[in-house]
A and B are shown apart, each in its own frame.
Chain A
Amino acid sequence: MNAAEIFIVVMSLLGLTSLLSLLCGSQRILAGVLNFIGILLASAGMLSLAVRALVHGPVQFSFGTVRVLGLNSQLAFSIDALGAVFIAIITVLSTASSLYSIRYLTHYTHEDPRRYYFPFPLFVGGMLAVVACSDWFWFLVFWEVMTLASYFLVMFENVEQENLSAGFIYFFMTQMTSMGLMLGVILVGHWGGSTSFTAMPALFHRLALNSPLGLNVLLFLFFIAFATKAGMYPLGVWLPLAHPAAPASVSALLSGVMIKLGVYGLLRIFVWQLPMGSAMKHWGVLIATFGVISMLMGTLRALGEHDCKRLLAQHSIGQMGYMLLGLGLGMALMQSNPLFAIVALVGCLYHVINHACFKSLLFFNSGAILYRTGTRDLDSLGGLVKMMPVSAACAIVGSLSIAGTPPFNGFASKWLLYQSAIFGSPKMPLYLFYGVIAIFIGTVTLASFVKYLGTAYLGTLPDRFANQPKGCPFSMECVESSLAAACILLGLAPGAVVAVLLNALRPVVEAANLTSTAGALAALPWAGISLQWNGRTSAAVAPAIVLGGLALCVGIGYWIHNAVSVSSRRAEIWNCGELVADERIRYRASSFYQPFKKMFSPVYRKVKLPSISVPSAVIRAFDFDRWIYYPVSAAFSRLSVGCSRLHNGIPQMYLLWQVLGCALSIGLVFWLMGGVK
């Protein structure tokens, strides 16, 4: 089967899965299993295409030109190595989420499961089509289809007012900037004659020479659309509202995959299609700056959250800041220091993969917490490690990953980003400042997750959970453990990942005329990486070696402990005299970091969104009935009433009218005949 056929089969399979879910009625498990099988098969198909793209080179196919729309838009798809990376992320996480949903959805006893299982495959299909397509018009269409399907998923639970306003703000902000994207696509078609990806570099080149204003307007329109989806502050205010409103399996997909497609769009436009020049540099600085702002605002605000899903959503904004910083640095340094530009871009892409892993893991965790305890509020939880040990272990892995602790995966990508920020441009201390902020935010992230782990999993279990069943359903735990394993593996083998990403970035590397990248990020044995420039190794990381060493030491320590037999007595942990686990006197999540909140209080102000209202004067002004039509007809009524007074019922007046009329007629006839002859 060739690529086009596989793609059609995949999309039809997803459509069929959607339709089949309608037949399941309210059988949640059945619908969930059918959904999982459909998505698994479709993912397998797409993954085969992705692997083909990674190994053999770009996979291209097209379904003809839609000429009648007057824009020469080709329904063309092209999966290159970058697309393959994103397809891998989408397919793996969608499969995980669909497996997780099978049991998770039984928690929602009052909601019709068809409203979840019908849009779910369409959402996945939309995301896959967005990443695969190579024409901006069809990109826009699939982008909007993806947004529409995700809206229905976010609105799965729609009785509470806060869910409704979350969905509204999400859809409204995305739609507003998508209109900008539509205008951008139209301008591309009009100025360039074609909306295909391959025609873009020439168009940008021409615009840069003839009309820099046009170029910047175009870039701005694309930028705001992708930045809104990526959750960049301040356009990303929808994120902390929408991700908690959605069910956890959907939040995992939204935060883990969909917002990355904003980064994908930015990569395509700014790195793949925009030629090198001053525009790239200036937009790079802008994107990096907004990345740092997102990092700060997202992570600092997360410190003040005690709803676990809101906390994770704020951290999504923060971690997107890292990716945007990497992207911005990659763009800004491309001309002056291409080596570190590539390092920054590799870091950005690596962080995309990592964030997809650990953020979805954390959302699945919060879903497990909600499933077992019925609440998301960290203030009322504690000691869950006794109730859900597997989930707790996965939560620890996820939290340490997001905080960038070695040997987990977050560390590797952040390490690359720090390197490029700090060493990227000796002349411009701005990037160094950004690097320092990034390191600081890494610490803040760790602080925030210490709070998350401490309040949710450690401590004493509240009495009301004492008789709850232990653990979570196997499918949910399976998903969480696999993702935790992925986090660990991605962290232990950065060399392999970097090799794949360098392959994905090969067109960029070639465009930047870099000959020495082969040595920039060299692989060390045991899948480590080392950064080499100016002919010497400046930095290296090899987690597997370090971990191996640690494991060896632990093994030796354990052997020594066992070799010497010492009697030991188990004792209760001293908990500072707190014998009664009273929930009201425990140290709550919202009490953490109070000094922080006081110091950075402007950050914690609630975002007030303006409410639109039309002034009533405008409404009255447009009410033509009131100004024109009714007054005119009233005047006409009065006129006819006035004329009707002629009929006053006196016969003499009527005779007088007749005489006058005769006289008038005779006079008129004489005048017409030209006088009496």
Chain B
Amino acid sequence: MMPATVTERPDSQISAPAMPPRREIPRPVPPPTGGNGLFLLALLLSALAMCGSLGLVIRSRGAILARDIGSLPWLPSKEALFGVRIDALSCLMLLAVTVCGFLIILYSGAFMSRSNREHPSDKGQGRYYFFMVLFVAAMIGLVCSPNLFQLFIFWELTTLCSWGLISFYGDHTALVSGYKALLMTYAAGLFLLAAVILVYINTGSFAFNAINLLAPSTKTLVIVFMAIAAFGKAAQFPLQTWLPSAMTAPTPATAYLHAAAMVKAGIYLMARLVLTVAVFPPKLALLFSAMAIVTMYVGVLQYAVQDDLKRLLAYSTIANLGYMMLGLALGALGSPIALRGGLLHLIGHAFTKSLLFLAVGAVSYAAGTRSIAQLSGLGKRMPVTALAFVIGAMAISGVPPFNLFWSKFLIVAGAIQLNTGWGVALAVLVLAESVIGFACFLRVVHKVFLGPVSEAADAAQDPPAGMLTALIVLMALALFSTLFSLPLIGRIVQGAS
């Protein structure tokens, strides 16, 4: 149960209401950790997933690959209920999900150990790798779903995994945050269920393009419900509050959930909607674009008051998801350039935000704290990590030649392409938000990584090889990801029009 009164304080200071004292439920003693073995198994599985996905992406070249698996006898439908369907959008998501998954699991091997100065423990690795690998599997299942039914099943599976990872450390704050995230995303998921049921009842099929067969009022209702689910999962306004609290998860898990995978599931759903629905109601698209820009500002205005590096990145994620939603909404309003921009931002942000989160993880690993006030001059002690964070900060602010510049350019160009006053207003607002975000990130870079070396930063050094490899690969991806994503996105938009 959630406490009654709270302010924008870190969740650790949330006070419980007057209730009978909590009994400490004795935890079962965990079995001796075969940490290394588990890590290697998880690494192998995620590597297989990555290679498999890369192979599939290269083989399919954006065409549709589909295979049916089966149905349920008590749920008649026009097509098979379970199957695999990979099209260009799935390929894009697969790239983001599996590559980030592999790198993050590689990173976790060194992070979840006793040398971690922030959380020096290697207990519970079985639970951790179970949820992480299950999560990779759930995301792959989600993006390869042929119809809404299977999509919903994997959607709920990701909600479950997210709960497991957010509340991993088991202290009160983590449990509260995990529960909050579960409730909010699950409640939003119920709207998805309602939408899926509506589609099935009215058309007898779970296929994505069955939405086009609905009557206009039902179609609007279904789109609104799906949008609510997507907004909940992707932490958009007004359902954004679970994401900053979810920073209690271990940092690589946060990188995966909240940069690369889970929040992108919401964007994936919206992208499917925008690409499949033939006649998207323009008023809804306008509403979504307005909510996207509000989300962006809700995110960016909170940057300046944060002391925790991870919370800052959480708000940055909220704002960047707003960019993606804006691109998709503008695409629905009739601007293919903005649609490309939104999708390019999706994959670019996956790599860039993972880079930022992993850099912050390295900082907390080495220095034991994530507080901006206590850290200073880290660049002198951890040069590679500092470079990683600076590159991430430049990329996320849209500075060329990094990847998010291209997507921001496309989104603003798409807004102008609409030829309306609202489009111009959006363009100016997006550019203003970009400048504000850039200023805040630059300030944080100067405070934390440059300047005189503070006490907390003095003992820090660059993290071990596993973590460093992940950072270096992600730095390269932050620079080069546009090269391979743009052709794929061209295929996606071509296929839809």
Contact = CB atoms under 8 A, between A and B. Distances in A.
B4 interface: yes
Residue with the greatest number of chain A CB neighbours at <10 A, chosen from B406, B413, B432: B413
A164 B336 CA distance: 41
B416 A186 contact: yes
B301 A618 contact: yes
Interface in A143-199: 144-145, 148, 155, 158-159, 161, 164, 167-168, 171-172, 175-176, 179-180, 182-183, 186-187, 189-190
A55 interface: no
Given A68-B486, A158-B451, A187-B416, A634 B3 contact: yes
Contacts of A612: 304, 436, 439
B487 A68 contact: yes
Contact of A164 (B298, B439, B451): B451
A562 interface: no
Interface stretch (B5-13, B55-63, B274-282): B5-13
A145 B238 contact: no
Contacts of A161: 451
Contacts of B409: 69, 182, 186
Contacts of A620: 7-8
Contact of A168 (B8, B180, B431, B442): B442
Contacts of B6: 625-626, 630
B443 A168 contact: yes
Contacts of A619: 8, 301-302, 305
Contact of B410 (A69, A112, A145, A183): A69
B400 A144 contact: yes
Nearest to A623: B8
A613 B434 CA distance: 16
B399 interface: yes
Nearest to A190: B416
B305 A175 contact: no
B240 interface: yes
Contacts of A180: 431
A633 interface: yes
B127 to A, nearest CB: 27
A158 B450 contact: yes
Contact of B417 (A175, A190, A618, A631): A190
Contacts, number: 134
B2 A633 contact: yes
Interface in B225-266: 238, 240-241
A614 interface: yes
B405 A179 contact: no
Contacts of A633: 1-2, 183
A622 B301 CA distance: 9
B47 interface: no
A71 B428 CA distance: 19
Nearest to A625: B241
Nearest to A613: B304
A637 B434 CA distance: 41
A423 interface: no
Interface in B396-410: 397, 399-401, 405-406, 409-410
B4 A176 contact: no
Contacts of B397: 175
A70 B415 CA distance: 13
Contacts of B435: 172, 175-176, 179
A176 B486 CA distance: 27
Contacts of B487: 68
A213 to B, nearest CB: 12
A394 to B, nearest CB: 34
Interface residues of A, number: 48
A141 interface: yes
A612 B435 CA distance: 12
A634 B4 contact: yes
B35 interface: no
Contact of B383 (A112, A167, A190, A634): A112
Contact of A172 (B412, B442, B490): B442
A158 B401 contact: no
A183 B427 contact: yes
Given A68-B486, A68-B487, A612-B304, A186 B412 contact: yes
A624 interface: yes
B143 to A, nearest CB: 23
A160 to B, nearest CB: 8
Interface string A66-83: 001111000000000000
Nearest to A622: B298
Contact of B2 (A182, A618, A630): A630
B451 A175 contact: no
Contacts of B381: none
A630 B400 contact: no
Nearest to B245: A625
Given A68-B486, A171-B442, A182 B241 contact: no
Given A70-B340, A155-B450, A168-B442, A190 B413 contact: yes
B304 A614 contact: yes
A144 B399 contact: yes
B389 to A, nearest CB: 14
Given A186-B416, A625-B6, A633-B2, A159 B301 contact: no
B328 interface: no
Nearest to B301: A614
Given A70-B337, A183-B431, A614-B305, A629 B442 contact: no
A186 B450 CA distance: 35
B438 A168 contact: no
Contacts of B490: 68
Contacts of A71: 413
B305 A179 contact: no
B17 A634 contact: yes
Contact of A69 (B301, B406, B438): B406
Interface in B365-419: 377, 379, 383, 394, 397, 399-401, 405-406, 409-410, 412-413, 416-417
Contacts of A69: 337, 406, 409-410, 486
B334 interface: no
Interface in B293-346: 298, 301-302, 304-305, 336-337, 340
Nearest to A635: B4
Nearest to B298: A622
B85 interface: no
B158 to A, nearest CB: 21
Given A144-B399, A612-B439, A630 B4 contact: yes
Nearest to A148: B399
Contacts of B241: 623-625, 629
A70 B410 contact: yes
A631 B383 CA distance: 46
B446 interface: yes
Given A620-B8, A622-B298, A633-B1, A183 B412 contact: yes
Nearest to B417: A190
B126 interface: no
Contacts of B184: 629
A623 B412 contact: no
A628 B417 CA distance: 38
Given A140-B400, A144-B405, A164-B446, 14 more contacts: A70-B417, A71-B413, A145-B401, A148-B399, A168-B442, A175-B399, A183-B427, A186-B427, A190-B417, A612-B439, A620-B7, A626-B6, A633-B2, A637-B4
Q: Which 6 A-B pairs have the closest CB atoms?
A: A634-B4, A633-B2, A158-B450, A70-B337, A144-B400, A179-B431
19 contacts: A68-B340, A70-B413, A140-B400, A141-B400, A144-B405, A159-B451, A168-B443, A168-B446, A172-B435, A175-B399, A619-B8, A619-B305, A620-B7, A623-B241, A625-B6, A628-B238, A629-B2, A630-B3, A630-B5
